[in-house]
Structure 1
Amino acid sequence: MEEQTKAVALADVLADTGAMDALRERGPIHRVLMPTGTPAWLVVGHEEAVAALSDTRLSVAAMMEAGVLDGGKLTTDQRNALLKGLTNVDPPDHRRLRRLVSGVFTARRIEAMRPWISQLTDELIAAFADKGRVELMAEFATPLPVLVICELLGIPEASRDRFRAWSRAVLSGLGTPDFPVDAAVEFTAYLRGLIAEKRECPDDGLLSAMIQARDEGDALSEDELTAMATVMIIAGHDTTLSLIGNGIYLLMIEPDRAEKLRADPGLIPAAIEEFLRLESPVPVANIRAALSPVDIGGAHVEPGELVIIGLQAANRDKAEFAAPDRFDMARAPGHQLAFGYGIHYCLGAPLARLEGELAIGTLLRRFPDLRLAVPAAELTWSRALFVHRLNELPLAFG
């Protein structure tokens, strides 16, 4: 395991598919340095990722309580209000929170939004349809999921730009030396005020439903409500905007793929799975801290050490996927880990898939000659720890 004693910069690995592939060829787990300089283990093998995502000796709660995500810049109360949602708690707390939230975040509620999301998609496209050019990330991929998640939660229209700015600042700063304390505090303070308003005057939104959720007399605490709303706002739009941008990018660099989907729109759900696998919107799962000794892929992880599970790396593991770099809509579904695995599997995965299907399908139908407006080599990618998406995606048509 000599190779694994040489820590590499995590950001460099996540930003370079070739470097990630080379690392995985040398073994399923390696030493890395987080942007803060903190050492960690990075799991890049699919089998090992599935095992790690299911291992109760690896704790998201212990990682969160240690201040890994905010660099210790938040107080315990501030951290709980921002981060102590489903993604950062262990059982039995996790089971309790998921039971309360899943009762209101239902497949029926999501499917009922299909006509409205389709209408919203058409309205956003109408704003640039006559221009012959669009910067897809700013003009379409970002506003669509922001509007959807804010509508779902019941967030006032006047606040939505602020929510987008706060959530982007927090997400980009997680796990870095530059965690934006001011944005985090403003974000949670606003949410506390909004929760108080919804408690007095409930509406049909998900936030009101979570306030009213009860299970044998149990309910979400104030911190839990705030943290759940935070994670839904951040994950509920950022994963989807990355999926839309990454999916269109994969179609534009190989136009034959887009033509196949135009000829047979029924293939779009299968294409969504390949978009998620090849360019996973969230490159790593939430970080874990070892509670006791754990052996992963031949490496011995000591108590207190951090473990980062590479979702994108696992999704390109040739031990799990034949020809993993090939875009294959006939690939058997169900193995990709873009939304995680086990108890922390993303609650919003059905909503992200629905938005991606409607957004990408409508773009392909409306613009039969949609194409990149710049060479693919000029496109740049975010280097944020929990984000894998293009900074801009200029497209031309007509």
Structure 2
Amino acid sequence: MGYEAGSVTEGWTAEPVDLTEEFYLNPHGVYARLRERGPVHYVRFPDSSTGWLVTGYEAAKQVFTDPSISKELGSAGARAAATAHGARGQVAGGMFADMMIFHDPPEHTRLRALVNRAFGSRAVRELEPRVTEIADGLLAGLAGGADDVQDLLEGYAFPLGMLMICELLGVPHEDRDRFRAWSAVLMSGDETRDTRTDSVREFVGYIDQLIRAKGAAPGQDVLSELIAAREDGDRLSHRELISMVFVLLVAGFETTVNLIGNAVAKLLTDKDSRRPLLDDPGRIPAFVEEVLRYRSPTRETTFRYTTAPITLAGNDIPPGQIIVVSVAAANRDPNHFADAHRFDPDRPDNHHVAFGHGIHHCVGAPLARMEGAVALTRLLAEYPALELADGATLEWRKSLVIRGLTALPVRLRP
């Protein structure tokens, strides 16, 4: 569906709203000021690229479903839009141009059909006992230092998410620290381009060898299932498998880890939200759902671009323009959510867009929800009086894609 380079609108002179470093540190403050202007904004991002930032809920859903807005980031249209708006580093290239999230139908439809089975609700339910086992083992390992300050991200959320995604992919235990290091670099906003390039090269080389090994000797893991998956005689190519592993690393690890961290942070800083969960653990899934809305582990989506003129929340946008949806802002849109800035686990009809909407709705959403609920359930069962370490200040990672903490220092209290 790509819009060709020569078709990017010439003479585009709109003056963008500058987003400074505050956009990393205090995004909801920035969203609140932008919201006074409307749900859609032409902005200059902190990396100096320009594009349209969508902060309204209904506008976000339109972007997710409008066929005139493309995610085909390996196309000539994407390259033209990225070049025109200073975002060339965001265009998918190499192996990652094959990622499912960077395709439109019919190619996206084909790829989604091949992976859906591995992440269906039944498959996720079958994983829950193993997630519980891993969580209990990690918590037991923390028990020896119950009186010490411990980083709950380092000791619980990160290893839980990493162990689970590595088991799903059949990654050998001795290689799991490398997976975590690659993910940290790729999701950071602080790393240099050379560092990120080196991490991508190492990651691709490793996954290439892992796929070849699984192809020769399949195991009881999702990667082996993806290698063998067929739909009407079709199957994933070697390049597509590498790209799919990258998607699972980000969606299956980063999202889950930050969901757990953000949920625990809410419990630590809002003691009134903890008692209902201790009295009735059956309320934890609803609590997790409100964390997804109120403190979405994903901030902004990867960019899309317009392939034809569109009207978005009253803004006439020409072809060849970059569109970025802020799910974090859309999930606090007061025009859609009553008392949008109030954390309310009993919120009815909590139809947030933390996992996107439409055909690109996150394939790993059921897994992330389950892991988040299990992690909180087991943590509160073992340490119901968990406390934030004295004098601790929670700091957020510098990233446009994710919203997660750098550390979560706590004292464990049985």
TM-score between both structures, scaled by the size of structure 2 = 0.89
Aligned to 2:302: 286
How far is the alpha carbon of 1:72 from its aligned partner?
A: 4.6
Distance 1:32 1:198, change over 3 A: same
- Matched AA of 1:234: V
How far is the alpha carbon of 1:154 from its aligned partner?
A: 1.1
7, 10, 13: which one pairs with 2:23? 13
Aligned to 2:9: none
The RMSD of aligned alpha carbons is 2.3
Q: Quick one: distance in 2 between partners of 1:307 and 1:112?
A: 38
Distance 1:384 1:64, change over 3 A: farther
Tell whether 2:60 aligns with 1:49.
yes
How far is the alpha carbon of 1:295 from its aligned partner?
A: 1.3
Q: Quick one: distance in 1 between partners of 2:314 and 2:281?
A: 44
95, 118, 122: which one pairs with 1:104? 118
How far is the alpha carbon of 1:330 from its aligned partner?
A: 1.5
The answer (yes or no) to whether the contact 1:73–1:179 under 8 Å persists in 2 is: no
SS of 2:355's equivalent in the other structure is coil
Aligned to 2:173: 157
**Cα shift readout 1:187-226 (whole Å, capped 9, x = no counterpart):** 1111111111111111111111111111121111111111
328, 345, 354: which one pairs with 2:361? 345
How far is the alpha carbon of 1:299 from its aligned partner?
A: 1.7
Aligned to 1:128: 142
The answer (yes or no) to whether the contact 1:188–1:226 under 8 Å persists in 2 is: yes
SS of 1:180's equivalent in the other structure is helix
How far is the alpha carbon of 1:118 from its aligned partner?
A: 0.5
Aligned to 1:240: 256
The answer (yes or no) to whether the contact 1:262–1:364 under 8 Å persists in 2 is: yes
The answer (yes or no) to whether the contact 1:174–1:385 under 8 Å persists in 2 is: no
Distance 1:289 1:10, change over 3 A: farther
The answer (yes or no) to whether the contact 2:310–2:318 under 8 Å persists in 1 is: yes
SS of 1:236's equivalent in the other structure is helix
Tell me, which stretches of 5 or more residues in structure 1 are unaligned? none
How far is the alpha carbon of 1:12 from its aligned partner?
A: 3.0
How far is the alpha carbon of 1:375 from its aligned partner?
A: 4.2
- Matched AA of 1:123: G
**Cα shift readout 1:59-81 (whole Å, capped 9, x = no counterpart):** 111377646599656998xx241
SS of 2:142's equivalent in the other structure is coil
Distance 1:269 1:203, change over 3 A: same
How far is the alpha carbon of 1:368 from its aligned partner?
A: 2.0
Distance 1:24 1:364, change over 3 A: same
Aligned to 1:119: 133
Distance 1:363 1:166, change over 3 A: same
**Cα shift readout 1:61-116 (whole Å, capped 9, x = no counterpart):** 1377646599656998xx24134222111111000000011123222222111111
Q: Quick one: distance in 2 between partners of 1:212 and 1:11?
A: 45
Q: Quick one: distance in 2 between partners of 1:130 and 1:64?
A: 54
Q: Quick one: distance in 2 between partners of 1:385 and 1:348?
A: 20
273, 297, 304: which one pairs with 2:289? 273
- Matched AA of 2:49: T
How far is the alpha carbon of 1:362 from its aligned partner?
A: 1.2
TM-score between both structures, scaled by the size of structure 1 = 0.93
- Structure 1 residues 324-333 or 119-128, which shifts more? 324-333
Distance 1:11 1:281, change over 3 A: farther
Q: Quick one: distance in 2 between partners of 1:103 and 1:380?
A: 38
The answer (yes or no) to whether the contact 1:277–1:315 under 8 Å persists in 2 is: yes
Q: Quick one: distance in 2 between partners of 1:83 and 1:238?
A: 20
Aligned to 1:60: 71
The answer (yes or no) to whether the contact 2:334–2:340 under 8 Å persists in 1 is: yes
The answer (yes or no) to whether the contact 2:119–2:367 under 8 Å persists in 1 is: no
How far is the alpha carbon of 1:333 from its aligned partner?
A: 3.2
**Cα shift readout 1:11-58 (whole Å, capped 9, x = no counterpart):** 533531122112112210112223431111100011111111111111
Q: Quick one: distance in 2 between partners of 1:252 and 1:74?
A: 36
Tell whether 2:407 aligns with 1:392.
yes
The answer (yes or no) to whether the contact 1:63–1:287 under 8 Å persists in 2 is: no
**Cα shift readout 1:104-155 (whole Å, capped 9, x = no counterpart):** 3222222111111101101111111231232111111111011001101111
Number of equivalent positions? 392
Q: Quick one: distance in 2 between partners of 1:73 and 1:45?
A: 26
307, 312, 324: which one pairs with 1:296? 312
The answer (yes or no) to whether the contact 1:168–1:234 under 8 Å persists in 2 is: no
Q: Quick one: distance in 2 between partners of 1:10 and 1:179?
A: 23
225, 238, 262: which one pairs with 1:209? 225
SS of 2:305's equivalent in the other structure is strand
How far is the alpha carbon of 1:175 from its aligned partner?
A: 11
- Matched AA of 1:45: G
Aligned to 1:380: 395
